[in-house]
Amino acid sequence: MLQAFQYLRLAGLGSVLLLAFGWLEWRLYSLQVVRHSELEGKARSYFEFKKSTPSIRGEIRDANGLPLAMVRPVKNIFVDPCLLGERTNQMAGLLASWLQTDASLLARTKLRPRLLRVDGRGREVYDNRVCLKQGASVEEWEWLERRLREDNFGFNPAKLRTRQKVLLERLRIHAVYAEDDLVRTYPQDRLLCHVVGRVGHDFGAGVFVPEWGIEKVLNAQLSGSPGYCEGVRDARGREIPGRRAVFRKPVDGNNVVLTIDLGLQEIATKELKAGLELYGAQGAVAIIVRVRTGEVLALVSLPDYGLAPSQVPVEAWRDRAIQDLIEPGSTFKIVTYAAAWNEGLIDWNQPINCRERLNIPQPLSDSEPMGVVQLRQAFAKSSNNAAAQIGLRVGGERLNRCIRAFGFCEPAGLGLEGERYASASPVKPGSLTSVTRAAIGYGVAATPLQLAMAMSALANEGRLMKPMIVARIVDNQGNVVARTQPRCVRAAVPPAVARAMIEGLKAVVSKEGTGRLAEMENFTAAGKTGTARVAGRHGYEAGKYRGTFVGFFPAEAPELCILVMYDQPRSAYYGGQTAAPVFRAIAEQAASYLRLPPKLKPVAAFDQKAPAALLPSGSGL
């Protein structure tokens, strides 16, 4: 048997072991209970799984459903240089013929393995994701994939050793790979660039950042909401099924349908551009509005820009139709005359002396001074003197009220960003100069769109409409989510006044008016010319004018209101000479595009010989 001291040692060592277990128990307590929340938080980063799926951005379409902005799936093509081995040169040759670059340069730069870092365990980490091409089309990638699969990379496929087989497979399949991406494309390129706007593109994420235009204003509708899920992953990064805490499906964006008609937009742009080159103007605006509803059918601002807006001059960025606050000049006389008609102060047939001396500091002169003429003629010839006299008759307060009624002191409300307006009443109380200047369209500020809407109000029985650019918003299944209804802002003038004004406006577009070049062949047009001096930093600048024509047709039942404006034309500067012919060209084509019924013309006398001449000569009748 053991002796006493041996029993003692047994007991002693046993107690030491038991005490050691007690110590472990204390360590366990401090880890599991005391540090529980700390360690739990730190553990989360290991198994947490988060993933977001991009949603498909909605399209922007014109009134007929033609796409103006759409999302296109593309491929970003990458190469893993580490897999090329000794066949780098063969791969470089193949890729260079595709990218049309120098093979040796490619082999030296992109196809050379690049050391990124050395990780904590001493392993070298190389860049295995070198981008060869961004935004390649799917077809291009398929073509490249096929070329890679068929290439032998200098091996003889008939006799391959196992190691070579592996290398060949790597070269063919794994070395060059593609990742899906989405890009935003604008099939109409320059057309409507200001209205549609642009988005910025987050490379590889399928996420778009709206920058301006409809893309920005209606981003909430277009973008949809990306899908998101949160769950648990394993050590290799794969999600473990059945443990999702959060899961949202991606909701695709809605499509925005504009009131813009691409056909009309194209007509307006083509004619406006032709005029721009002919007159050597700095910029130009054309607006087509459907009179009854206020739908904007075309909105052109020149100069414009294409798909790479970073390279265009700043001048082109501005949407002149809504962002340029200008002095309208003579076109503004429609407001003066409408105010006078509204107050019952004038009649088209009453005589007026266009050489009347006005008691104001700076006298007004006409370019073609007339004597005593009918008011209709004075309006048609755009006499400044007559307009000033009528402005004085109306008076500052009543003129101000009418200017407000036509919507010049509030934003037109198109809904695009950057729309400008001058809110203050233009006519200073008690200042005769101010009244006479405002009466002829100086000292007042308006955007081209405001002018077009004011003219549309006269054509629409005095009712000022709110301009519309978005017709409706539809989802992917074609269901209408929201629809914009035509909205009347207010009755600017009573219908009788509007009808009377149309009489005067018709006279402008006639043989004796300033707008004679706007006269249409098959329709009666009505409108008003305007030629305004351009104000610079130090007053009006010599030789710089802005020529405008704003009118509508057919005058009997107005359908379209068209505004054309040229900024600082060089060859000719009167609105009647520059803008009016372009109005006519646009209006003629728009009428045939929309198939508007032309006015009936007196039938020519029936010519007996004509039918025979039309027949083929050898018909033997």
**Interacting stretch for other proteins, rule CB under 8 A, among 19-27, 53-61, 64-72, 434-442?**
19-27
Distances (CA, A) of 415 to 45, 119, 260, 296: 45, 54, 14, 12
Smallest gap, in angstroms, from Cβ of residue 15 to other proteins? 9
Report the residue number, 121 or 538, with the smaller CB distance to other proteins. 121
Smallest gap, in angstroms, from Cβ of residue 204 to other proteins? 27
Q: Check binding of 241 to other proteins (CB under 8 A).
A: no
Peptide bond into 602 cis (omega under 30): no
Q: Check binding of 18 to other proteins (CB under 8 A).
A: yes
Q: Check binding of 203 to other proteins (CB under 8 A).
A: no
554 and 566 Cβ atoms separated by less than 8 Å: no
- Count CB neighbours of 94 within 10 A: 20
Report the residue number, 120 or 618, with the smaller CB distance to other proteins. 120
Distances (CA, A) of 426 to 296, 328, 401, 439, 595: 27, 13, 10, 10, 41
Q: Check binding of 201 to other proteins (CB under 8 A).
A: no
Q: Binding to other proteins (CB under 8 A): which residues in 27-56?
A: 27-29, 31-33, 35-36, 38-40, 42-43, 46-47
Report the residue number, 51 or 174, with the smaller CB distance to other proteins. 51
CA dist 205 and 201 (Å) reads: 8
Smallest gap, in angstroms, from Cβ of residue 134 to other proteins? 33
Q: Check binding of 14 to other proteins (CB under 8 A).
A: yes
3 state SS for 500-514: HHHHHHHHHCCCCCC
Q: Check binding of 4 to other proteins (CB under 8 A).
A: no
Among 131, 173, 240, 482, binds other proteins (CB under 8 A): 240
148: left (phi over 0), alpha (psi -120 to 50) or beta: alpha
Q: Check binding of 315 to other proteins (CB under 8 A).
A: no
Smallest gap, in angstroms, from Cβ of residue 117 to other proteins? 13
Among 169, 189, 234, 397, binds other proteins (CB under 8 A): 234
Count the residues of the shown chain that bind other proteins, applying the rule CB under 8 A.
42
Smallest gap, in angstroms, from Cβ of residue 47 to other proteins? 5
Q: Check binding of 536 to other proteins (CB under 8 A).
A: no
Angle between the N-to-C axes of helices 575-594 and 262-279, in degrees from 0 to 180, rounded to the nearest 10: 160
Report the residue number, 32 or 104, with the smaller CB distance to other proteins. 32
All residues at 6 or more sequence positions from 146 whose CB lies less than 8 Å from its CB, including other chains:
none
Where would I find the beta strands (DSSP E) of 273-392?
283-290, 296-302, 351-353, 372-374
Q: Check binding of 9 to other proteins (CB under 8 A).
A: yes
Q: Check binding of 156 to other proteins (CB under 8 A).
A: no
Peptide bond into 303 cis (omega under 30): yes
Smallest gap, in angstroms, from Cβ of residue 26 to other proteins? 9
Q: Check binding of 17 to other proteins (CB under 8 A).
A: yes
Q: Check binding of 124 to other proteins (CB under 8 A).
A: no
- Count CB neighbours of 218 within 10 A: 20
Smallest gap, in angstroms, from Cβ of residue 312 to other proteins? 50
Q: Which of 523, 524, 508 is nearest to 576 (CA)?
A: 508
- Count CB neighbours of 443 within 10 A: 18
**Interacting stretch for other proteins, rule CB under 8 A, among 24-32, 132-140, 199-207, 328-336?**
24-32
Dihedral sign of CA atoms 61, 65, 66, 67 in order:
positive
Where would I find the beta strands (DSSP E) of 143-241?
176-185, 198-202, 207-212, 227-232
Q: Check binding of 521 to other proteins (CB under 8 A).
A: no
Report the residue number, 32 or 592, with the smaller CB distance to other proteins. 32
For 267, how many CA atoms within 13 A lie in the half-sphere containing its CB? 22
Smallest gap, in angstroms, from Cβ of residue 77 to other proteins? 32
Q: Tokens standing for 400? A: 């101000």
Beta strand 124-126 pairing with 351-353 = unpaired
Report the residue number, 21 or 540, with the smaller CB distance to other proteins. 21
**Interacting stretch for other proteins, rule CB under 8 A, among 23-31, 60-68, 467-475, 543-551?**
23-31
Among 4, 115, 235, 603, binds other proteins (CB under 8 A): 235
Q: Check binding of 480 to other proteins (CB under 8 A).
A: no
Smallest gap, in angstroms, from Cβ of residue 130 to other proteins? 26
CA dist 546 and 568 (Å) reads: 5
Q: Check binding of 247 to other proteins (CB under 8 A).
A: no
Q: Tokens standing for 329? A: 């000049």
Among 4, 6, 132, 532, binds other proteins (CB under 8 A): 6
Q: How far out from the chain centre does Cα 300 lie? A: 11
Report the residue number, 72 or 244, with the smaller CB distance to other proteins. 244
Report the residue number, 117 or 570, with the smaller CB distance to other proteins. 117
Report the residue number, 2 or 621, with the smaller CB distance to other proteins. 2
Q: Which of 519, 539, 540, 523 is nearest to 583 (CA)?
A: 519
Question: Measured in Å, how far apart are the chain's first and last C-alpha atoms?
Answer: 150
Classified as helix, coil or strand, 588 is helix
**Interacting stretch for other proteins, rule CB under 8 A, among 26-34, 106-114, 441-449, 595-603?**
26-34
**Interacting stretch for other proteins, rule CB under 8 A, among 15-23, 137-145, 447-455, 517-525?**
15-23
3 state SS for 472-484: EEECCCCCEEEEC
Q: Check binding of 23 to other proteins (CB under 8 A).
A: yes
Q: Which of 179, 180, 163 is nearest to 86 (CA)?
A: 163
Q: Check binding of 10 to other proteins (CB under 8 A).
A: yes
CA dist 297 and 563 (Å) reads: 12
Q: Binding to other proteins (CB under 8 A): which residues in 46-105?
A: 46-47
Among 229, 232, 278, 312, binds other proteins (CB under 8 A): 232
Smallest gap, in angstroms, from Cβ of residue 243 to other proteins? 8
What residues make contact with other proteins under the rule CB under 8 A? 1-3, 5-7, 9-11, 13-14, 17-18, 20-21, 23-25, 27-29, 31-33, 35-36, 38-40, 42-43, 46-47, 119-121, 232-236, 240
